[in-house]
Structure 1
């Protein structure tokens, strides 16, 4: 607002400072001296004019601050202005005339006192100096400074070095500044409200005074016309000043409202900034904790990974040393000299509580005492014995323990554990020993030995330096060979036809090779052909070769030779030819001797022939057999299982080399030329190491996509053991039950052995099911039977070479159930429980690398139902119902030949047809069943049952019925005319008498 304002008609100057309230008018005023009459009229009007100007200006300023009452105040001011305009119009003429008179008079200068105005200025100046603590300009400057602070990059980028403490201080300063501004704004609002009330009261007084003065002016219109014109001009100027003051006041109030809203927003922003600072501080602290925890976990994982790597390196080193020792031992097998332990005494150890031989221990004399060692058998359910591929347990698991804790082995001892193996299995399998070393089952070096006093047993011997738990197992035979740069050849100890030929410089350093052969017999191929639809075109398969190579590539190809059965059609043809040849050799044709001249003539003709036929070798004969005739037409095909296939007489086939990857998938090795060296011998070369591979002989129309399925089916079939479950009950005690799981090939021997032990009753064997070596067999019961022991679900471990059986006593669940049956019925459920290692693909991605590569892999328990066998137990132990007391039957009718004597005679002569006779005589089935039940639970005989049937019929027959005719017809109808004749003879004799 301007500091000075001029009021029209008076030339007065009023200074309005920042804290003025509209009362700072000029102290000097120059005017003409009016006349005596005019002076009386104008003096009060001028005074009132100044009062009106001041009051109206103040009122309008207040009206701008208070919008609620502003409209009413402006309306009142308009009414006052209209009244003043009316007064000016009535006295305008008079004022014009008097103004002319006054112009001729001398001017008088009136000096108003300036002391009051100066005092007001000094008072407001002091007040403004007292309020210098708060200044709106400084406040706005501070807000700009704070805004510039937050625009800096220091507070925009949130990281570990974020100035949280400085941010908290800045937010506190902003909060203090906003609180100060808010307090000053509230004080200003209160002062303006008080001033508005005071000015409203002054406005009302002025309005009342002006209204009264206007009334007095209207009474003398001719005298007030000049004054009205002056007032009109003054009011016009006054209205302009008031409008200007109102606009200035509105701007001031608008600025005040905007400032207040800015302050509120700034306060809200400050609160948000404080919360954001607190959140940022918490987030920074949380991130620091997470980072610290992550570093600790990372360090822990790295430490565990380091330990794992060290453990794996140690295991690899141990395996490498064991492998080197095994190679040396295998390569030098048969060339060893007599060992020192052969001269040591042998101590035979029996199992605790049994007389069976557990092992034979050899110890150094004078340092080993057999009384310090005990040997006991361990239940396989109490340990976690891990089976490898194609491994089988061959005997009891024994634990060597000292008799006291202070005893330790001073020197190594040699333990020989007996085992039995069939001749067929011994051809392709070998025995070895696993030991429980610090909770982990590992293979230890072993050697097969024999003892003269136990020629019927084989022993596998190990050297131990501490007391351990040992188990004898078998696996496929292994061949350990070390190749060098020189050419060499490996022949399998399982089958001499399987060879691996290595050329010179195939390896640049020593190469250790391990070879295992898994035979595939014709029975396996036949089962696959009949049961698996994908294998219907499979003709034959070679053995599965499992190899371990240290190198990842070959510098030269390696030649593999392995057997494979021939095409069945070709094999039948060759067998027929050999049979004819043998018959020809057994029955040679007789040749008549020719005369001498004829013989000489033939000899001369033979000498004249230039080309003499040579005798063909066996290989040439086989080549001619295998070679197809040139002019032979292709054999017709027939429709077979939705496909055009050759018949069984087709001698054409294809050979494919199929290999298995590390993930377990089979694939066809491309570009392999398989040559048939002999009828059942194949030869081919490989360019890179293959872990497992075999050759399939299939029909010519077989799709190549089916070969991996065939290989997988053969491999899975060889992994399983096909068995049957046998449940038998003791004949003299049907509740005593034995369950045994046996291979299909030995099921008859198992049943015969059970019969010899007294277990003859029971259901038939189950269907053929597949299990794996080492599976836990669990028995559950369903229906009205249960196991009458503390172990409700018996368990045992299946082993092909050991008895896999369990015994339990059956009982009923509720004796009041199944009342309609003469036995209690139930079902025996047989489950196989195995632990499966989960696939890595199923593991969540969130798991760490340590968990995925950990050697302690968690296993999942899998329970599979393999069969259900129904079984029954008798109700002998249930107390039978009491025998009903039957009232005696007395026949007192002597006038009829059918009497008690005849009934007794007929009951004695009848046989099993009496039930049919009873049906003919209209005796109900329920009555027949009651007669039979009473006979079973009582001491009655079959004759008594027949007599009761005849008495039942006789009791319900009326007297008027001819009983002889009815009984005779019944006997005749059921094939007993002799009894009918006896009844007629009895009737005739009765009539004669």
Structure 2
């Protein structure tokens, strides 16, 4: 019996039970403390043989139940035990035989623990401790800085391998947990079946025992006790099973959390990998863009260097051309025949071409004018278009120029601009307009025109423009002096060894006249203290520093108060010369004697210098005392009597800002001539003469105002309509000083109707003028928005036909009304030097399109066009009113008499008679339309009142009261007399 129990206890936890294999090995657990307690029985001395056996059987059965013993063996064992209990007679022997069972049971439990530990360590089964150690190792791996810091060298592949290992471990743990849960569910089912079998067997045994009257009570008690113990053991087994299920659920939840953590780790690894890939792509893209930008920058630098080199070569060629004066080439082309090319459509002379005889054919070249809107002609600072843009093209594609040809293009230039401006030619070379060498020439058969001639070797588009005169000079180590061809008073004096090598200098002078200063004073309130300004000097230097100062001399108008004083003194002097005082003749001997005495007493006066003469002129007379300075609210009074002023030298930076050059002493050499020294090169500079109370911060503002004013052209917009066709309209933009001439010319062309010229507006050379329409007028041509380019020296105009937008609008007017809107569209191009001075080479804005387009509204001009399709409404014919009621004295004769005698008070009488103002206005309008008299209007008023009156009302009383109220009692008396006569007549008839 003990041997069977030991075998059962040892065989309950076999590796191959419930299917065996690796799965059963993973769910193997150590025996719990409750199982150990169940293996140790409680001794009971009072029990009989049968209870002792039953206790051992229950212990054995409980162990078998815990170790998952098949339930089919339990009834067989019970039957065998019952048979042995009946045959045995000594209870003490059973108790003695029970003691080794207990010892064997304890040894079995210890053996199970030992075997479980051995299986966990030695066999290939699943080890929970190993799982926990792996989890700790994975946690420590992710705590390392290797996986925390994400950079370019992040171990992505190692991270993916670790995440794969974690996923495999969690999957294995999850599988073992599921197997354990399934086995526990099977154990619970088996234990339930054992419990039911035991209850059924005990109930049947108890029923059989009750048949014997002698043993019924004892067996019943034993069975009851045995059942109770079995129930207790089963309850404990159920509690252990519940605990195992709880542990299994916790294990499963832990596995789920671990799986979620692994999935999150996998997602995090995937995100990190994507982020690393994205950063790699971004770095690659950034490096590509930087390389592209550097390449673009390199190309731009090469282009700038190429342009600078071309400009340098052009400058050197210009200097050589000016030095050589073109004598040799002139002798070559002057003997060649001149071919005059006419513009198509009778546009006049286009150019004169000279080509080498026997190699140039006039018929192989065509010449036509180009609309400026079809090209992108670029304007430099202070450049103006002065001629027609012509295009020279071959008659066939095979035609090419064998030798160079000389093209002379006519241009127009005013007399005022000849002294400060010069003509040059720009050519379109591969879409870029560049200057080409040119010279001014004249022709005997065209003495009224000026020509500028260029040498070309291929067919191209040419445009004649003007700019400020340029002076090219080359300085060496020797001392030299540069005098401007624009104004001989402007000089640049260079001392010896100022430059260590040859220095090429380009000088341009922009005049600033008194009219410009006056305009600046009136347009800008900050420039009210400005007195005068020198010309703006524009110089190009190759050197960045001077070894010795350079002396600049330039003119500047004097203080107006001092100029007026000098002019007054000259006037007095001229008057004295015209009217000399008569001297009384003195005898010759006396006069000689006085002269000899004077020579002996007075030394001969020395000749005064220019500075002394200027000081005497500026000195006030002895009899006049200097006037005190007038102050008002902390400022000088606005008077022109103050002869004191200050001089400032201001310069312009590459970014366009003006600043005062410090520590510069400006000496006034003459009344209108200044001199100062420069220690460093300045690109643009000027001298301002201002009042003594001028704030230093306003000096750059004045300079900027003058410079911007010289860039603009002040014009007026003139819109005129043809007299015989008001829909034919012409719009011209003319300078302010040429508006009257333009209006007169338009009147001669038949454009006499239209509004007055617009207000004065400012535009620049080369601006695009756009014309928009608003209201009930529009452009009837295909081009809804007419455009043209403004040029001061070329006619800037546009013609269009107007029409109405909707003929059913503005029905209350006899014309269609609208507005012409004139816009100015221009392009802003930053200075190259300003762009080159940028510190950031990789600035993204520097690689964008440099040209910026803007558009501003210049003015609005109201326009009217007639309604050509609307016929005037016919004059309404009023039906005659006949009064047929003879029972009342108020009849047609009385109305006529009253209308003839009433005056201007009839409107007041009409209001008193309750006639509406609208009806009174209608009566007046109808009288004007039909050329009726005022008497007819008054009669219509009385008839209107009479038609409104009912028959039952006393019309005589109403009419007399109205006349009395408005100061006509005579008419009221006439109405009463008419009424009395009518009543007497009625009485006599009866």
What's 1:849 paired with?
842
Q: Is the Cα contact below 8 Å between 1:14 and 1:26 reproduced in 2?
A: no
Out of 744, 759, 772, which is 1:780 matched to?
Answer: 772
Range with greater deviation from structure 2 (864-873 or 882-891): 882-891
Q: Deviations over 1:639-691 (max 9, x none)?
A: 56983246211111111101111111111111110000000000000111111
1:325-404 equivalences under 5 Å are 325-333=317-325, 338-404=330-396
What's 2:688 paired with?
696
Question: 1:764 and 1:169 mapped to 2: Cα distance?
Answer: 89
Q: 1:851: how far off?
A: 5.0
| Partner secondary structure for residue 434 of structure 2 | strand
| Partner secondary structure for residue 548 of structure 2 | coil
Q: Is the Cα contact below 8 Å between 1:30 and 1:109 reproduced in 2?
A: no
Out of 263, 269, 281, which is 1:277 matched to?
Answer: 269
Range with greater deviation from structure 2 (920-929 or 756-765): 920-929
Q: Deviations over 1:754-797 (max 9, x none)?
A: 12112222221111111111111122222222222222222111
Does the alignment pair 1:536 with 2:536?
no
Q: 1:299: how far off?
A: 3.8
Out of 427, 438, 443, which is 2:435 matched to?
Answer: 443
Q: Deviations over 1:9-58 (max 9, x none)?
A: xxxx99998768799999999999x9xxx8xx522222233345566789
Does the alignment pair 1:195 with 2:187?
yes
| Partner secondary structure for residue 567 of structure 2 | helix
Does the alignment pair 1:44 with 2:44?
no
Unaligned stretches of 5+ in structure 1? 1-6, 8-12, 63-98, 893-898, 908-913, 935-944, 962-972, 974-993
What's 1:428 paired with?
420
1:553-568 equivalences under 5 Å are 553-568=545-560
What's 1:90 paired with?
none
Q: 1:736: how far off?
A: 2.0
Distance 1:61 1:243, change over 3 A: farther
Give the alignment's TM-score, normalised by structure 2: 0.76
| Partner secondary structure for residue 269 of structure 1 | helix
Q: Is the Cα contact below 8 Å between 1:557 and 1:686 reproduced in 2?
A: yes
Distance 1:815 1:595, change over 3 A: same
Q: Is the Cα contact below 8 Å between 1:30 and 1:110 reproduced in 2?
A: no
What's 1:794 paired with?
786
Question: 1:122 and 1:535 mapped to 2: Cα distance?
Answer: 112
| Partner secondary structure for residue 583 of structure 2 | coil
Distance 1:274 1:324, change over 3 A: same
Does the alignment pair 1:723 with 2:719?
no
Question: 1:656 and 1:31 mapped to 2: Cα distance?
Answer: 127
Question: 2:881 and 2:334 mapped to 1: Cα distance?
Answer: 93
1:444-593 equivalences under 5 Å are 444-593=436-585
1:69-468 equivalences under 5 Å are 132-144=124-136, 146-147=138-139, 150=142, 155=147, 158=150, 162-199=154-191, 259-333=251-325, 338-468=330-460
What's 1:811 paired with?
803
Distance 1:380 1:206, change over 3 A: same
Q: 1:920: how far off?
A: 11
| Partner secondary structure for residue 463 of structure 1 | strand
Distance 1:915 1:401, change over 3 A: farther
Q: 1:243: how far off?
A: 14
Distance 1:161 1:955, change over 3 A: closer
Q: 1:873: how far off?
A: 2.5
Q: 1:333: how far off?
A: 3.4
Over the aligned positions, Cα root-mean-square deviation in angstroms equals 5.1
Question: 1:521 and 1:918 mapped to 2: Cα distance?
Answer: 68
Q: Is the Cα contact below 8 Å between 2:507 and 2:539 reproduced in 1?
A: yes
Distance 1:655 1:624, change over 3 A: same
Range with greater deviation from structure 2 (301-310 or 387-396): 301-310
Distance 1:917 1:278, change over 3 A: closer
Q: Deviations over 1:94-145 (max 9, x none)?
A: xxxxx9x989x99779977999999999999799699844333443454455
Q: Is the Cα contact below 8 Å between 1:349 and 1:361 reproduced in 2?
A: yes
Q: 1:325: how far off?
A: 0.5
Q: Is the Cα contact below 8 Å between 1:15 and 1:25 reproduced in 2?
A: no
Question: 2:663 and 2:53 mapped to 1: Cα distance?
Answer: 128
Out of 789, 793, 815, which is 1:823 matched to?
Answer: 815
Distance 1:953 1:274, change over 3 A: closer
What's 2:22 paired with?
none
Range with greater deviation from structure 2 (401-410 or 304-313): 304-313
| Partner secondary structure for residue 552 of structure 1 | coil
Question: 1:465 and 1:347 mapped to 2: Cα distance?
Answer: 17
What's 2:671 paired with?
679
Range with greater deviation from structure 2 (562-571 or 776-785): 776-785
Q: Deviations over 1:345-387 (max 9, x none)?
A: 1111011222510001111222211111111111111111111
Q: Is the Cα contact below 8 Å between 2:390 and 2:462 reproduced in 1?
A: yes
Q: 1:725: how far off?
A: 1.2
Range with greater deviation from structure 2 (810-819 or 386-395): 810-819
Distance 1:340 1:122, change over 3 A: same
Q: 1:428: how far off?
A: 0.3
Question: 1:113 and 1:810 mapped to 2: Cα distance?
Answer: 127
What's 1:929 paired with?
925
Question: 2:677 and 2:446 mapped to 1: Cα distance?
Answer: 47
Q: Deviations over 1:63-90 (max 9, x none)?
A: xxxxxxxxxxxxxxxxxxxxxxxxxxxx
| Partner secondary structure for residue 690 of structure 1 | coil
Q: 1:602: how far off?
A: 2.0
Q: Is the Cα contact below 8 Å between 1:654 and 1:699 reproduced in 2?
A: yes
Q: Is the Cα contact below 8 Å between 2:369 and 2:388 reproduced in 1?
A: yes
Question: 1:106 and 1:383 mapped to 2: Cα distance?
Answer: 128
Unaligned stretches of 5+ in structure 2? 14-27, 69-89, 885-891, 911-918, 947-954, 957-967, 969-990
Q: 1:833: how far off?
A: 1.3
Q: Deviations over 1:814-854 (max 9, x none)?
A: 33333333333222221111123489999xx9998375444
Count of aligned positions: 864
What's 2:978 paired with?
none
Give the alignment's TM-score, normalised by structure 1: 0.76
| Partner secondary structure for residue 447 of structure 1 | strand
Question: 2:612 and 2:704 mapped to 1: Cα distance?
Answer: 37
Distance 1:726 1:110, change over 3 A: closer
Question: 2:325 and 2:107 mapped to 1: Cα distance?
Answer: 132
| Partner secondary structure for residue 421 of structure 1 | coil
Question: 1:933 and 1:30 mapped to 2: Cα distance?
Answer: 142
Range with greater deviation from structure 2 (395-404 or 811-820): 811-820
Distance 1:288 1:208, change over 3 A: same
Question: 2:266 and 2:870 mapped to 1: Cα distance?
Answer: 86
Q: Is the Cα contact below 8 Å between 2:421 and 2:468 reproduced in 1?
A: yes
Q: Deviations over 1:860-899 (max 9, x none)?
A: 332211111222233355322245567799999xxxxxx9
Q: 1:306: how far off?
A: 3.1
| Partner secondary structure for residue 557 of structure 2 | coil
Q: 1:194: how far off?
A: 3.4
Distance 1:666 1:197, change over 3 A: same
Out of 629, 635, 647, which is 2:627 matched to?
Answer: 635
Q: Is the Cα contact below 8 Å between 2:177 and 2:251 reproduced in 1?
A: no
